[in-house]
Structure formats: structure tokens, C-alpha cells
Amino acid sequence: MAANKQTVDPNTALALSVAGELRELTGKLKRRLREESRIGTFTWPQVQVLVRLEREGPATVTTLARAEGVRPQSMGETLSILKAAGLVSGAPDPADGRQTVLSITERCRELIRVNRAAREDWLFRAIQTQLAPDELTQLANAVELLKRIANA
């Protein structure tokens, strides 16, 4: 009896290869953008909390802990560091005075804005210096394809 050979469709093989390369590349790009960060000596989880508060608005410790997948005690430690740095402030929850609603400070908003601008500037300069005009067009088209994948 002959060995059962599986044939792989060339498009499937290509898609699998591209998926692996894209995963590695996005990880490398993410690390490079983190290197360009000017947000200070904060850990990535601390930065994630700041970004969440900036995007989603004020929240309680419990809400943040649930969203980040950590225990409320761990989130409390993270927030105490951010409060001490003047990046987060708290106010009594109008619906439940026993809870505190946390939000980012104006200082934090400015730090996030500067950080985003620095990372975008690095990316802009890299694109401008590393790509020819036709490659820039290819990259713009690829960005549209990546958006479709991200929204799938």
C-alpha cells in the first residue's frame, strides 16, 4: 500500500508562509515602536492602562482589572505608581461613593500626544528614507489589506 501523501494547495502554503512572516514582522515593528517611545520608564502594562483610560475614558479599578485580565489588587499597584507619577487621578464615583473613578491627567494626555508623535515621526522618517516612490504606493495598498485582515 502506497504512503498517503497529502498535497497542499499552493495558495494555502503561501498564506501560511505569509501569516508566519507577518506575525514576526508585526512583533518586530511593535518592539521598534516601543523603543521610540518617550513615555519614560513605565512598564508596558502601565502604559496599556494609560492608553485604555485615554481611549475609553474614566473607569474604576475593578473595570480596569477586568479589561486588562488582572486581579484588582495588581491593578491597584499599577495605578498607585501612575498616581504617584501624576499621570492618573481619582474622584469619588457619583453612582457609588465607595468606589473611585480614575482618569488620566492633562499631563498624561500631553505625554501620550508627544509619545505618539515621536513614534509616528520615526515611522515617517523610516518610510521616507527606506522606500522608493513605487514602494510607498505598494505599502499604502498593503496597509489597506492589513486593515481588512485586522477587521475580519
Whole-prediction pTM: 0.74
Whether 2 has a pLDDT exceeding 60, the answer reads: no
Q: Provide the CATH number for the domain formed by 37-150 in this structure.
A: 1.10.10.10
DSSP states along 42-104 = --HHHHHHHHHHHHH--B-HHHHHHHHTS-HHHHHHHHHHHHHTTSEEEEE-SS-TTSEEEEE
Report domain extents, the chain.
Answer: 37-150
pLDDT the model gives residue 128: 97
pLDDT the model gives residue 3: 52
CA 115 to chain centre: 13
Asked if 88 and 79 touch (Cβ cutoff 8 Å), the reply is: yes
Whether 40 has a pLDDT exceeding 80, the answer reads: no
What pLDDT digit, counting tens, does each position of 113-149 carry? 998 999 999 999 999 999 999 999 999 999 999 999 9
